[in-house]
């Protein structure tokens, strides 16, 4: 009995040690972060693997904050983030912020009878709704920009993300940039201190937002564009938003493209810039770069080389920027000039 047990322990120990010492076959990369990027990454990696069998790329949807933090600590090689890194973080740990694609966000609502219509909404009106100043759908401010629409006198239920999220970041940035009182109040970030509104509801993840909005009549929610198919399936309405030029525009490929192009020339070489509330008559106001946060000093040379190869492929027009990938999540490809900037950043990886 004793021998058997001793042997079993020895075998386990040996297995552990052998496992520990065993070298990996090929190189492995870890991508973790934004849940908006996660579906795209999955499509990318599945395809990339077919041609590049010698590299293993693991993808995780853990949230942008985790992505940035894991890229800094070296746990992950690619940290996916909906938001560029803040100055305070960059000062502690300088990282590359490499845009991979352009995403947008729609404002969804569930007003019985009106979901087939596209309501017009503006930043200040949304700020009013989310701060409790605008309580009913037939409020004067909403009615003014929706002449001819019969709005119900029902109480609005504002739904916000309860978990930390890049969606909250870009939504609150739109409110901040368009509404001074919001920028002095709650401000923007991946988690913000929402004003206390008696009807407000928190939801977890984009699926939670869709579900909550669908289940709650008279609610309003902000949802990542990769969930457009889901919100359509749930028969939610989505709004035309007032842009910097004062026009109401729907999130379409052309309005997202217009917004991105208007800020292309302003994008600095480190590519940390907000695309929110972009100038231009046709620009949709809530769009953003989806970033890969990468440490330029990749200690491991083999990992560094594979990382550069994958990121270069992701930016190639015959690689990751193909419509078959981006259309599935309703993202847009990067403008040529941004691809160049991104490639220059990739070249810095060692």
Partner 1 sequence: MASMDIRVGDTARAVSPAALQRTGSQTILTVLTGLAALASFAIIFLILFFLVAYAYPAIRFNGLGFFTSMIWNIGNQYGSGTISRAGFSAQPGASFGALVFIFGTVVTAALTMVVAVPLSLMVALSLVYTVPRRIRPIANALVELMAGVPSVVYGLWGMVVLVPWIGTKLAPWVTTHFGFIPFLGGSAGSGNGLAASVFILALMVIPIMVATTRDVILAQSNSLFEASMALGSTSWQAMTRAVLPSVRGGVVASVLLAFGRALGETMAVLMVCGAAINSFPQNVFGPVNTIAAVIVSQLESALTDASGMAQRSLAELACSLFLITLIINVVARGIMRGADRREGRAA
Partner 2 sequence: MALARGGVAPKTWASRSWWTLSVACLIAVIGLLFSIFAFVISRGFPALKPQLFTTVTQGTAGGLLNAIAGTFLLVAIGLALVIVVGLGTAIWTVEFAPPWAKRVIRFMIDVLAGVPSIVVGYFLYVALVEEAGWGFSLLAGALALAIFMLPYVVRAADVAFSNVPRALREGAVALGARPAMVIFSIDFPWALPGILTGLLVATGIGLGETAPLIYTAGWSNYLPSLAPTHSPVGYLTYVVWTYISQPFPESHQLAYAAAALLMIFVFVTNLLARSFVEYKTNRSR
Distance CA 302, CA 300 (A): 6
Which range touches partner 2 (CB under 8 A), out of 117-125, 186-194, 222-230, 255-263?
222-230
Per the DSSP assignment, residues forming a β-bridge with 248 are 242
- Write out the binding residues for partner 2, residues 105-124 only, by CB under 8 A: none
Q: Is 295 in the site for partner 2 (CB under 8 A)?
A: no
Which range touches partner 2 (CB under 8 A), out of 12-20, 82-90, 269-277, 315-323?
12-20
Q: In the bound complex, what is the minimum distance in angstroms from residue 216's beta carbon to partner 1?
A: 5
Distance CA 60, CA 278 (A): 31
Q: Using CB under 8 A, pick the residue from 16, 180, 202, 279 that binds partner 2.
A: 16
**What is the pattern of x (binds partner 1, CB under 8 A) and - over residues 147-166?**
--------x-x-x--xxxx-
Residue keyed to tokens 């739109």: 174
Q: Using CB under 8 A, pick the residue from 7, 10, 14, 49 that binds partner 2.
A: 49
Among partner 2, partner 1, none, what binds residue 297 when CB lies within 5 to 8 Å by partner kind? none
Q: Using CB under 8 A, pick the residue from 122, 131, 226, 298 that binds partner 2.
A: 226
Q: What backbone torsions phi and psi does residue 24 show, to the nearest 5 degrees?
A: -75, 145
- Write out the binding residues for partner 1, residues 169-198 only, by CB under 8 A: 187-194, 196, 198
Q: Is 206 in the site for partner 1 (CB under 8 A)?
A: no
Q: In the bound complex, what is the minimum distance in angstroms from residue 56's beta carbon to partner 2?
A: 5
- Let me know if 29 is exposed, middle or buried by CB neighbors in 10 A (0-12, 13-18, 19+): buried
Distance CA 152, CA 67 (A): 42
Per the DSSP assignment, residues forming a β-bridge with 161 are 203
Q: Is 59 in the site for partner 2 (CB under 8 A)?
A: yes
* Residues 338/271, Cβ–Cβ less than 8 Å: yes
**DSSP string over 111-166:** -TTTTTS--EE-HHHHHHHHHTS--BTT-HHHHHHSTT------B-EEEEESS--H
Half-sphere exposure (Cβ direction) of 305: Cα atoms closer than 13 Å = 7
Distance CA 288, CA 267 (A): 12
Q: Is 200 in the site for partner 1 (CB under 8 A)?
A: yes
Q: Is 86 in the site for partner 1 (CB under 8 A)?
A: yes
Q: Using CB under 8 A, pick the residue from 7, 10, 14, 46 that binds partner 2.
A: 46
Distance CA 341, CA 65 (A): 24
Question: What is the distance of C-alpha 113 from the center of its chain?
Answer: 30
Which range touches partner 1 (CB under 8 A), out of 3-11, 20-28, 59-67, 138-146?
59-67
Binding positions for partner 1, rule: CB under 8 A: 62-66, 68-69, 83, 86-89, 91-92, 155, 157, 159, 162-165, 187-194, 196, 198-204, 208, 211-212, 215-216, 219
């Amino acid at each position: 009995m004793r021998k058997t047990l001793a042997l079993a322990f020895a075998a386990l120990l040996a297995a552990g040690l052998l496992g520990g010492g065993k070298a990996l076959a090929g190189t492995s990369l870890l991508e973790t972060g934004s849940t908006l990027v996660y579906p795209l990454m999955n499509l990318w990696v599945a395809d990339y693997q077919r041609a590049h069998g010698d590299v293993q790329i693991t993808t995780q949807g853990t949230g942008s904050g985790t992505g940035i933090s894991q890229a800094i600590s070296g746990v992950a090689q690619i940290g996916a983030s909906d938001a560029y890194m803040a100055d305070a973080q960059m000062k502690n740990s300088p990282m590359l912020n490499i845009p991979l694609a352009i995403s947008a966000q729609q404002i969804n609502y569930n007003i019985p009878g009106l979901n087939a219509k596209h309501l017009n909404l503006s930043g200040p009106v949304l700020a009013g709704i989310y701060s409790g100043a605008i309580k009913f759908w037939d409020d004067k401010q909403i009615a003014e920009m929706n002449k001819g629409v019969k709005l119900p006198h029902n109480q609005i239920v504002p739904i916000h993300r309860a978990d930390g999220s890049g969606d909250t970041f870009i939504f609150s940035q739109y409110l901040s940039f368009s509404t001074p009182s919001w920028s002095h109040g709650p401000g923007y970030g991946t988690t913000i201190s929402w004003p206390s509104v008696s009807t407000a509801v928190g939801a977890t993840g984009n699926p939670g937002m869709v579900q909550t909005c669908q289940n709650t009549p008279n609610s309003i929610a902000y949802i990542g564009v990769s969930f457009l198919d889901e919100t359509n399936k749930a028969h939610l309405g989505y709004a035309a938003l007032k842009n910097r030029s004062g026009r109401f525009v729907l999130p379409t490929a052309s309005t997202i493209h217009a917004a991105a192009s208007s800020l292309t020339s302003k994008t600095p070489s480190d590519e940390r810039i907000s695309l929110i509330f972009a100038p231009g008559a046709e620009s949709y106001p809530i769009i953003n770069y989806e970033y890969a946060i990468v440490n330029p000093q990749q200690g491991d040379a083999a990992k560094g080389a594979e990382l550069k190869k994958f990121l270069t492929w992701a930016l190639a027009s015959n690689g990751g920027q193909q419509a078959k990938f981006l259309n599935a999540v309703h993202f847009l490809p990067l403008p040529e000039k941004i691809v160049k900037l991104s490639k220059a950043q990739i070249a810095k990886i060692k």
